[in-house]
Amino acid sequence: MENIEILSMVNISKYFPGVRALSQVNFSLKSGEIHALMGQNGAGKSTLIKIMTGVYQPDSGHMYLRGESIKVESPEHAQTLGIATVYQEVNLCPNVTVAENLLLGREPRNLIGIKWKHLFEEAHKIIKEKLDLDLDTTKPLGSYSLAIQQMIAIARSLCVKSDILILDEPTSSLDEAEVERLFYILRKLKNEGMAILFITHFIDQVYAVSDRITVLRNGEYIGTAEASALSKLELISMMVGKDPAELAATATRQEVKLSHGTEELLKVDGLGRTGYLKPINISLKKGEVLGLAGLLGSGRTETAKLIFGAERALEGKLFRNGQEVALSAPRDAIMVGMGFCPEDRKTEGLIGDLSIRENIILALQAKQGILKYIPRKTQEEIANQFIKELGIKTPDAERPVKTLSGGNQQKVLLARWLATKPAILILDEPTRGIDVAAKSEILQRILQLRNEGLSIIFISSELEEVSAISDRVAVFRDKKKIAEIEGTEINEHTIMRLIAQEELENEKQVKAN
């Protein structure tokens, strides 16, 4: 079967107030192919998909469907054009039957109402033909696994005669067997001529199922290549903007004087949850920085949330100073001396309408309990102390925190946890979205805290940052820890190669020569 270009996007640009989301981006999709769209957070993938499906209109550029210029007016219009989208969160009704979900709005009817027997039989036939699945279509959709629910969502899109299928992170909550089942279906649809756009952060899955790969970075088109002709290291280099040859020059690292001894403050033993994070083992010593490195979706944030109790682990144990502790909620973690600055400070960290003072004392008040209210004067003293120590630029502590710059907001979040006097501090992307000067201040402060004996788990997408301040680095890929390095091993080159699962023999030979 000849692969015909069915969709083409040429020089697509999209701007939002103060943000360039896409700039002159090109993309094409052929019938009978699985095409992976890759890029880090903020690369522009979601914006491109929303233009493709009519959620947004481009500011410039052209879109062609089956060779004809087209303007997709809305998601409903996209469906009539044969463009179907299945999102990570299944947008179906789990409390009604599989058949009703599949044929909603297209149920066989007579004068009395729905012809239920025909509905169930037709749904069963569609699922068997399209997905090669034998399901009881009379059962509620919610009685089946998330993987099956996603396949029903795919089958529903196929019922409206789609020839383009967009899958946005379809495997993020699936186990290995469910992923393989989904891939079997995708290969079957591809062989029938379907054009499939596959968005994921899982490198191994890209190579397991994709024919071509397109990479976006910072809203720009970086390139398209056959999956078979693009190594994992080259793909990651395109995504993060680092030349592999350039990275090879960073094979040495200046040693940082360690302030910690051998005291193990935290031990994570087999902590995990099916579909969320594979069981991991890590430890943290007093006065050290443990870096977590990996691409977006690799398992770094998931690890942080399980350790802090923000998400519940279903297996494994966590030990604090050698004693097992059960963390069912963040307050439990706070009580054993932990703090956590989340990745999204605006939605998960700070409360924008509250003052700087109120944001700073939140965690300390939670630690003491509502019956031990912190007096206003004490609150002001604490807030003013950290405003001075961290150099938070504000006329006073009563300004709403949302009026501060990104860097100063990050300092307020850091101050909140320092006010609780933690022994362990988890920092997830503490320098994201802030200017260079503020970034330098934050990193210097982290090193200072480390030298004062604070133990820190540091997560950053910037491998330069991870390499610069970490005493040890745990490397993650596809929701699991794949390696741990320390000392002179810590550099961007080694981390990139580990993520890409490339053999290190060439590097060893270079060092030997």
For 392-426, the pLDDT digits (tens) are 888 889 999 888 877 788 889 889 989 999 999 99
Among 60-64, 295-299, 500-504, top mean pLDDT goes to 60-64
* pLDDT for 211: 96
pLDDT at 503 over 70: no
Which of 160-174, 220-234, 320-334, 416-430 comes out lowest in average pLDDT?
A: 160-174
Contact 496, 233 (CB under 8 A): yes
Q: Which amino acid is at 266?
A: L
Same domain flag for 222 and 308 = no
Same domain flag for 353 and 257 = no
In the chain, % of residues over pLDDT 70: 90
Among 105-114, 407-416, 432-441, top mean pLDDT goes to 407-416
Same domain flag for 20 and 165 = yes
Mean pLDDT over each residue of the chain, to the nearest integer: 85
Q: What is the mean pLDDT of residues 33-55?
A: 89
Q: Which amino acid is at 74?
A: S
Q: How far apart are CA 55 and CA 168, in angstroms?
A: 15
Q: In sequence order, what DSSP letters do the residues of 295-339 get, joined into one string? A: STTSSHHHHHHHHHTSS--SEEEEEETTEEE--SSHHHHHHTTEE
What is the 3-state composition of the chain as percent helix, strand, coil, each rounded to the nearest 5? 40, 25, 35
Alpha helices in 38-145 (DSSP H): 45-52, 75-80, 98-102, 116-131
Q: What is the mean pLDDT of residues 157-176?
A: 79
Same domain flag for 224 and 288 = no
- Give the model's confidence band at 501: pLDDT under 50 very low, under 70 low, under 90 confident, else very high: low
* For the chain, counts of helices (H) and of strands (E): 18, 20
Which of 16-20, 165-169, 197-201, 255-259 comes out lowest in average pLDDT?
A: 255-259
Residue 189 lies in a domain: yes
Q: Which amino acid is at 292?
A: L
Nearest to 345 by CA among 407, 438, 410, 399: 410
Contact 213, 36 (CB under 8 A): yes
Q: How far apart are CA 405 and CA 493, in angstroms?
A: 33
Same domain flag for 448 and 466 = yes
- Tell me which of 442 and 187 has the higher pLDDT: 187
- Give the model's confidence band at 436: pLDDT under 50 very low, under 70 low, under 90 confident, else very high: low
Residues 255-273 have pLDDT tens digits of 444 444 567 899 999 999 9
Same domain flag for 414 and 430 = no
Q: How far apart are CA 356 and CA 263, in angstroms?
A: 35
- Give the model's confidence band at 506: pLDDT under 50 very low, under 70 low, under 90 confident, else very high: very low
Nearest to 473 by CA among 501, 498, 453, 449: 498
Q: What is the mean pLDDT of residues 116-120?
A: 88
* pLDDT for 32: 94
* pLDDT for 249: 38
Residue 15 lies in a domain: yes
Same domain flag for 387 and 446 = no
pLDDT at 464 over 90: no
- Give the model's confidence band at 250: pLDDT under 50 very low, under 70 low, under 90 confident, else very high: very low
Residue 356 lies in a domain: yes
Which of 166-175, 247-256, 353-362 comes out lowest in average pLDDT?
A: 247-256
- Tell me which of 494 and 252 has the higher pLDDT: 494
CATH number at residue 58: 3.40.50.300
Residue 344 lies in a domain: no
Q: How far apart are CA 459 and CA 347, in angstroms?
A: 18
Measured from the Cβ of residue 129, the count of other Cβ atoms closer than 10 Å reads: 11
Q: What token pair was written down for 332?
A: 């439990």
Residue 159 lies in a domain: yes
Same domain flag for 22 and 136 = yes
Same domain flag for 11 and 51 = yes
* pLDDT for 502: 45
pLDDT at 512 over 60: no
Range of the domain at 306: 253-337+422-490
* pLDDT for 177: 76
pLDDT at 201 over 80: no
* pLDDT for 284: 94
- Give the model's confidence band at 204: pLDDT under 50 very low, under 70 low, under 90 confident, else very high: confident
Residue 495 burial class via C-beta count within 10 angstroms: exposed 0-12, middle 13-18, buried 19 and up: buried
* pLDDT for 205: 87
* pLDDT for 448: 87
pLDDT at 36 over 50: yes
E strands, 1-70, in order: 5-16, 19-30, 33-38, 60-65, 68-69
Same domain flag for 222 and 119 = yes
pLDDT at 179 over 50: yes
Q: How far apart are CA 327 and CA 436, in angstroms?
A: 36
Q: How far apart are CA 292 and CA 348, in angstroms?
A: 20
Nearest to 194 by CA among 211, 175, 169, 177: 211
* pLDDT for 131: 76
Residue 500 lies in a domain: no
* pLDDT for 262: 65
The model scores a pTM over 0.85: no
Same domain flag for 55 and 157 = yes
Domain endpoint, select from 421, 456, 475: 421
* pLDDT for 255: 42
Q: What is the mean pLDDT of residues 144-164?
A: 80
pLDDT at 511 over 60: no
Q: How far apart are CA 299 and CA 404, in angstroms?
A: 30
Element (H, E) at 447: helix 436-451
Q: What is the mean pLDDT of residues 442-455?
A: 88
Same domain flag for 266 and 364 = no
Domain endpoint, select from 177, 199, 232: 232
- Give the model's confidence band at 3: pLDDT under 50 very low, under 70 low, under 90 confident, else very high: confident
* pLDDT for 279: 94
pLDDT at 251 over 50: no
pLDDT at 490 over 70: yes
Residue 238 lies in a domain: no
Query: What values do phi and psi take at 220, rounded to 5?
Result: -120, 150
The tally of domains found in the chain comes to 3
Contact 98, 152 (CB under 8 A): yes
Residue 60, CA distances (Å) to 25, 135, 295, 358 in order: 10, 46, 31, 44
* pLDDT for 308: 92
pLDDT at 467 over 80: yes
* pLDDT for 64: 96
SS3 at position 80: helix
Q: What token pair was written down for 336?
A: 């054993």
Residue 479 lies in a domain: yes
